[in-house]
Chain A
Amino acid sequence: MNALLRLTVANIRSFVRDRAALFWTLAFPLIFVVLFGSIFSGGNTDRKIGFADEDGTPASAELKAAFASVSGVVLVDGAKADLLEGMRKGDVSSVIVVPPGYADTVAAKAAPASVTVYTDPSQSAADGSTRQLVGFVLAMVNQEASGQPPAVTPAFETVQTNDVTFISYLVPSILGMSLMQLGIFSAIPLVADREKLILKRLQATPLRRWQLVGSNVLTRLLIAVFQTVIIITVGTAFYDVQISGSWFLIGALVLLGSLAFIALGYVIASFAPTEEAANGMTSVVQFPLMFLSGTFFPIDAMPDALKMVARAMPLTYLGDALRQVMVEGTPFSPLWVCFAVLAAWLVICFGIAARFFRWQ
C-alpha cells in the first residue's frame, strides 16, 4: 500500500511538473466555462445597440423610445457609418438604421415601413437576441399603429432566465467533457513509461502491476475531483449556476464516469505501439465522443444513424446524468440507466484492456 501511495505521489508530482498537461486538464475546461459563460450570461450587463435616426421625425423618435424602453438595452446615437465602424470595434453589438422617409411610409400605410438591422451572425448569441428584440419592439409598434392594444406583453424577464439556465446546463456538459478527456488520455503516461523502459525497470522490483495501475487510476481520480471542484466553483461563483441535485450523486457520477473513460483510455493504449500513436488514436476517438454526445449539438437534431451512435456513447449518459442531477435535482431512480450504461462501459473496457495491454 505504501508503494502504491508513493507512486501516486510521484505521478502527481510528474503531472504538476508537466506544464502542458496541467494546462490542458485544468485551464482548458475553465476557458470553456468562462468563454461560454461570458457569452450566454450577458443578461446582467446592458446591451449596447447603435441607433441611427436618418428620418428625424416624431414617428422615428417614437420608435427609438420603444427600443429604449426595453430594460437592458442602451441605445447609442450616431451616424450610420460611425455606428457600423463602432460595431466592428465591438463598441455596439448591432446597429438599427431608420431610413429617411420612414414617417411618411408609416403614415401612408400603403407598404410596410422598413428598418434596417445590422447584426453579426458570427456573434450568434448577440445576433439572435437582437433579432428577437427588434421583432418584439416592431410588433408592439405595429399593434399600436393598428390602434389595438398589445395582445401579449412581451416578458423580457424570461429571456434573461433562459440565458442563465443555458449556462447552468453548460457547466455539467463541460464537466462531463473534461472528465472524458482526462480519462481517455490517462493511459498515455503508462505507454510513455513503457517506451522509456520504466515499466521494465519496475518489473524488476517487487512492485505489482495492480499497484502500478492502481496508482495511475488513483492519480487520475484525484485530478478528476480537483477538476470538478474548479469547474463547479467557477460556475457557481461567477455565473450564478445553481446546483440543485445531491452532492453524493454528483460525486458518484464523477467517479464512475471517470473510471469508465479511464478504462476506455487503457483500451486505446492497449493497441498503440508508441506514445505518439496513443496520443493520435486517443485524439481521433475523442472527437466523435465529444460531438456525438449531445454536449454541443442536441441529439434530437441528428440523423437517425448518428442518433444510434450517440445513444451508445458513454459521454451521452454521463453528460445527461450530470445535467439532470446538477440542474434539475433528479434523484437516482430515473438515472439508473445512465449508471448502468457507464458501469457496462467500465466493465467491458476493463476486460479488453486487461487482456490486450502490453507491458513490454
Chain B
Amino acid sequence: MPTGTLTANDAVIRVDSLRKTYGDLVAVDGVSFEVARGEVFGLLGPNGAGKTTTVEVLEGLRTPDSGSVSVLGVDVVKDVDAIKLRIGVSLQTAALYPKLTVTELLDLFRSFYPSGRPTDELIELMDLGEKRATRTKDLSGGQRQRLSVALALVNDPELIFLDEPTTGMDPAARRALWDVIAGLKSDGRSVLLTTHYMEEAEVLCDRIAIMDHGKILESGTIDALVGQHFKERAVRFDAIDSLGDARLTGLEGVTSVQRDDGVVVLYTNDVPATIGGLLAATDELGVEPANLAIRRASLEDVFLDLTGRALRD
C-alpha cells in the first residue's frame, strides 16, 4: 500500500499525545483520538477547553509543540500542503471578504483549487439562492455561517472541519444545516465538528470526545458514555434553599447530587423511593418541589458530571 492512501476502514484523523502551549497557558495537554472514514465525530467542551486549538492544528493552521498528528494518512507537520487540497474548513468565526458577494466569494475560493463543486450547486445546497448577489457584510449571522460551510465544500473535500457551525443560527437554519451534515456523511465524507449544543451532538455524531482544560475526559458513542456514567435515572427540580445537600444525599436510592444554575439533579437507582423521600422532606419544610421531572440521564448529565458545569453558549 503506497503511503498516503487509506483503506475504507482506516482512520482519517489520528492524533497522538498532541500538546500545544501559548507561553504559560497549556491549550492542549496530551490529546489522543481517532476519527474513522465516513464518521461524524464531535468535540464537545466549554469555551477555552482547547477544542479550537486542536482543530486548528489538524487544519495545518498551528504547529503542535509535540505529539503526532496525521490527517488523511499524511503527517500534518511534514506535508501540510498535501492535505489542504483534500480538506474543507469552516472557522469558528466566519471570515469573509466584506465587500464581495456570495457568488463572488465562492468563485474566488473555487479558483484556489484544481477541482471542486460548482458555485450554483453550493448556493442551492446551503439555501443562499436569494442572497447570491448580496455582499457578505450584509448577511445575517446564520447566513454568514452557512456561507462559511459552503466555502468549506468548494473543493469537494473528503474530510470537513466545522468549528461551531450552527452558532448564531435560528432553530430552523440549525436543523437545515444538520440535514446538510447528515448528507455529507451519507456521501461517505468524514466530518469533525465542535459544538456547544448537546442536541446537535446527539443528532449528528457517531462518536464524541468531551474536552476540558486541554484534555479529553471521555470519548466514545453517546449511548456508551451515558450508560457508563449513569446506570441511574435523574430526578430534577428547582433548588430549595432550606434543603441542603446533606439531606438530599441521605434520601433513599440517591447516588449523587448535582447543582447547576438553580436546578438540583438527583441521580438515583430507585426512582419511587427517592421521590417519596423528597416529597416527605419538602412536606416537612412546608414547600413543594417546583418543576419536578424524572428522566433518563443524557449527554448533558455526563458533561455536568465530568466538568462540573453545564455546556451552553
Contact = CB atoms under 8 A, between A and B. Distances in A.
Nearest to A194: B95
Given A6-B111, A196-B95, A204 B89 contact: yes
A14 B108 CA distance: 13
A162 to B, nearest CB: 46
Contacts of A79: none
B158 interface: no
Contacts of B95: 196-198, 200-201
Given A203-B61, A206-B81, A14 B97 contact: yes
Interface string B143-168: 00000000100000000000000000
A355 interface: no
B60 A13 contact: no
Given A6-B111, A7-B108, A197-B91, A204 B99 contact: no
Contacts of B89: 201, 204-205
Contacts of B105: 10
B85 interface: yes
Nearest to B90: A201
A148 interface: no
Interface string A121-146: 00000000000000000000000000
A206 B111 contact: no
Nearest to A206: B84
Interface residues of A, number: 21
Q: Is the interface of A mostly helix, strand, loop or mixed?
A: helix
Given A14-B99, A201-B89, A206-B84, A6 B107 contact: yes
A109 interface: no
A207 B107 CA distance: 14
Contacts of A7: 108, 111
A311 B81 CA distance: 46
Interface in B61-105: 61, 81, 84-85, 87, 89, 91, 93, 95-100, 104-105
Nearest to A189: B97
Contact of A205 (B100, B112, B135): B112
A206 B85 contact: yes
A2 B112 CA distance: 8
B99 A17 contact: yes
Given A197-B91, A201-B91, A204-B59, A13 B104 contact: yes
A10 B60 contact: no
Nearest to B151: A201
A193 B108 CA distance: 15
A163 B108 CA distance: 51
A205 B96 contact: no
B33 interface: no
Contacts of A252: none
Nearest to B91: A201
Contacts of A18: 99
B99 A205 contact: no
A291 to B, nearest CB: 33
A31 interface: no
A157 B135 CA distance: 58
A50 to B, nearest CB: 54
Contacts of A13: 99-100, 104
Nearest to A4: B111
A205 B61 CA distance: 10
B197 interface: no
B109 interface: yes
A200 B97 contact: no
A197 B89 CA distance: 13
A70 interface: no
B60 A198 contact: no
A198 B100 CA distance: 13
A3 interface: yes
B99 A197 contact: no
A35 to B, nearest CB: 30
Contacts of A193: 97
A207 B112 contact: yes
A10 B97 contact: yes
Given A10-B97, A198-B96, A204 B84 contact: yes
B184 to A, nearest CB: 17
Given A13-B99, A17-B99, A3 B59 contact: no
Contact of A204 (B61, B97, B100, B108): B61
B195 to A, nearest CB: 19
Contacts of A3: 111-112
A204 to B, nearest CB: 4
Given A200-B61, A203-B61, A204-B60, A6 B108 contact: yes
A207 B81 CA distance: 10
Interface string A1-22: 0110011001001100110000
A3 B89 CA distance: 18
A196 B60 CA distance: 19
Nearest to A203: B61
Contacts of B84: 204-206
Interface string A270-314: 000000000000000000000000000000000000000000000
Given A10-B97, A10-B100, A10-B104, A200 B113 contact: no
Interface in B186-215: none
A76 to B, nearest CB: 53
A2 B113 CA distance: 10
A206 B95 CA distance: 17
10 contacts: A2-B111, A7-B108, A13-B104, A14-B97, A14-B99, A197-B93, A197-B95, A205-B109, A206-B81, A206-B85
Interface of B: 59-61, 81, 84-85, 87, 89, 91, 93, 95-100, 104-105, 107-109, 111-113, 135, 151
Given A10-B105, A196-B98, 10 more contacts: A3-B112, A6-B107, A7-B111, A10-B100, A13-B104, A18-B99, A205-B113, A206-B113, A207-B112, A360-B61
- Per CB-CB distance, the 10 closest pairs between chain A and chain B, nearest first, are A197-B95, A6-B111, A204-B89, A201-B95, A14-B99, A17-B99, A205-B112, A198-B95, A206-B84, A207-B112
